Amino acid sequence: MKRLKTTALALTLSLALGACAGDLGGGPRAISSSNSSGSVSPMTAVPAGTVTPGTEPSQFVPPNDEPYDTVFFDNPGVNPFIDTEDDALSTFALDVDTGSYTIARRFLADGFLPDKDSVRVEEYVNYFEQDYPAPEQGLAVSVDGGPTPFTQNERNRVVRIGVQAAEPAEEERGPANLVFVVDASGSMDREDRLGLVKEALARLVANLRPDDTVGIVAYQEHAWEVLQPTPASDPATILGALHSLAPNGSTNAAEGLTLGYRMADEAFREDGINRVILCSDGVANTGDATGPESILELIRGASERSIELVTVGFGMGNYNDVLMEQLADQGDGFYAYVDTLDEADRLFVDGLTGTLVTVAKDARIQVQFDPETVQSWRLIGFENRAMADEDFRDDSVDAGEIGAGHTVTALYEIKPTDATQGAFGSVYLRWLDPATNEAIEVEQPIERDLLADGFESTSPRFQQDVVVAQFAEVLRESIWARQTGSTLSDVAAVAQRLDTEGDPKLAEFVGLVQQAAAISS
């Protein structure tokens, strides 16, 4: 999904790529976060206890209690309230990334609040199960909502727009041509990141079908072919090649992706699925093509031939979230972050079909609010997914890809007018069928009776989404969370009332909110 103009994206990636120091460099690495304007800004220290070759950890003191060295996040800002009389349309590309939430879980597991610039609200909400009715094919949209404890005033309401993708049976999918592009540079030795990559990909291999194929490319200072596409019916050969990798040297990510796409292109399955799966900490610092333009051109061309890119992040400290997220967007895929083997199972075992099968291309939403019934509105999250309103029905404009069984949730806070009748507006959902490239569009009115009268009478999943979103809003220090005086303790108090029975992910979330509240106090 090309959600930024090429020049802006090139600048962002150039900053991110250029700021990354060598894996085996001999001095302090830059710590990077982003400022309020969304630009990437470096700082200059390494946390105490972090060993950089040629230095002693006692030489460095972390600025502002930064928990990790050399991390790159990009702050896209916070959506404003908009008067409906001025602009009644909200248009954005759909997104199923979840990396932002699992990065937060990693921060909290280490005893720190997440970097506020790492927080993307929609990725927190997208991580959790939903209750939307599933269509037989394509996408379906549903609407509900009601009052919540976290709105700007008691009259405001939150509207939840849910998108559910069809989930064909595993046996119905075509054969998969998968190419693993594995970062085997020196930084992947930290925390045994490469070891986690191997275990995660081994789980994926174990769940493939015999007619699927796996190829492996690795990169350090240069990239090389580790394994030509091999049938999944020969897992010993695939795993043997994977486990032969050892971390060393610097990081030529561009060369690795170039070789990976070339391998995927040579083994292209006209009747099947074609994926490049990049496993890395996101650092790219070596080679003739370290600039972003060559990488982006490569990915754009390959995505036009339906070779999609899934980026999977590993490790924290010397980690580039910016590059991993934006490469996935440009590659018409999605971005996930694996912090545990359980997360690898969620991505590569439980969600295997969704990881491999795309059911909707260039999916986007447009919401049209009625000025007679809605005074103002704000979209909660999706700041870096905005599209021009006039591009909604222009199918040449790239948007987002949705995998089988995936869900996307968007939350709007609206301020109703004094009108007592009439719908609040309509939701338009549009996408391309992957098989025929035919454009499909559906509409769903936002009727008043779809919204409950009280928070307790809304659906359990709506309550979950509201609490998860508010957790993210507080963590990213949103102006709207500050204006309501909402704190992590407030969020924890509401989270404790959620129904977590039979939902281990939600139960874990409640514990994380409580932990975050304890850290903040």
d(CA 297, CA 396): 17
Contacts of 286 (CB under 8 A, 6+ apart): 22, 221, 249, 250, 251, 252
d(CA 287, CA 279): 19
In tens digits, the chain (521 residues) has pLDDT values of 433 333 333 433 344 444 343 333 332 223 333 333 333 333 222 232 332 332 222 233 344 567 898 899 999 999 999 999 999 999 999 999 999 999 999 999 999 999 999 999 999 999 999 999 999 999 999 999 999 999 999 999 999 999 999 998 888 899 999 999 999 999 999 999 999 999 999 999 999 999 999 999 999 999 999 999 999 999 999 999 999 999 999 989 989 998 999 999 999 999 899 999 999 998 887 765 544 556 667 677 776 778 999 999 999 999 999 889 988 988 889 999 999 999 999 999 999 999 999 999 999 999 999 999 999 999 999 999 999 999 999 999 999 999 999 999 999 999 999 999 999 999 999 999 999 999 999 999 999 999 999 999 999 999 999 999 999 999 999 999 999 999 999 999 999 999 999 999 999 999 999 999 999 98
Check: CB of residue 253 under 8 Å from CB of residue 238.
no
Contacts of 302 (CB under 8 A, 6+ apart): 261, 264, 265, 276, 309, 331
| Backbone phi, psi, residue 79, to 5° | -65, 140
* Angle ∠(32,36,41) on CA atoms, nearest 5: 25
Which DSSP helix (H) or strand (E) runs through 507?
Answer: helix 504-520
- Helix (H, G, I), strand (E, B), or coil: what is residue 80? coil
Distances (CA, A) of 181 to 197, 348, 420: 11, 16, 57
Task: Say how many CA atoms lie within 13 Å of 93 toward its Cβ.
Answer: 30
Cα 257 off chain centre by:
20
Check: CB of residue 275 under 8 Å from CB of residue 305.
no
Contacts of 22 (CB under 8 A, 6+ apart): 250, 285, 286
Which DSSP helix (H) or strand (E) runs through 367?
Answer: strand 358-369
Where in the chain are the domains?
6-72, 82-95+108-168+358-461, 171-355
Q: What does CATH list as the number for 82-95+108-168+358-461?
A: 2.60.40.1230
Predicted TM-score (pTM) of this structure:
0.88
* Angle ∠(11,12,18) on CA atoms, nearest 5: 85
Instruction: Give the closest residue to 425 by CA, choosing from 140, 148, 143, 130.
Output: 143
d(CA 8, CA 110): 34
Contacts of 288 (CB under 8 A, 6+ apart): none
Q: Which two tokens stand for residue 271?
A: 């009747």
Number of Cβ within 10 Å of residue 270's Cβ equals 7
Say what the pLDDT of residue 294 is. 62
Say what the pLDDT of residue 65 is. 62
Number of Cβ within 10 Å of residue 343's Cβ equals 20
Say what the pLDDT of residue 203 is. 96
Q: Which two tokens stand for residue 358?
A: 């795309």
d(CA 441, CA 140): 10
| Backbone phi, psi, residue 223, to 5° | -100, 155
Check whether domain 171-355 has CATH 3.40.50.410, yes or no: yes
Check: CB of residue 382 under 8 Å from CB of residue 366.
no
Check: CB of residue 376 under 8 Å from CB of residue 232.
no
Domains 82-95+108-168+358-461 and 171-355 alike in fold: no
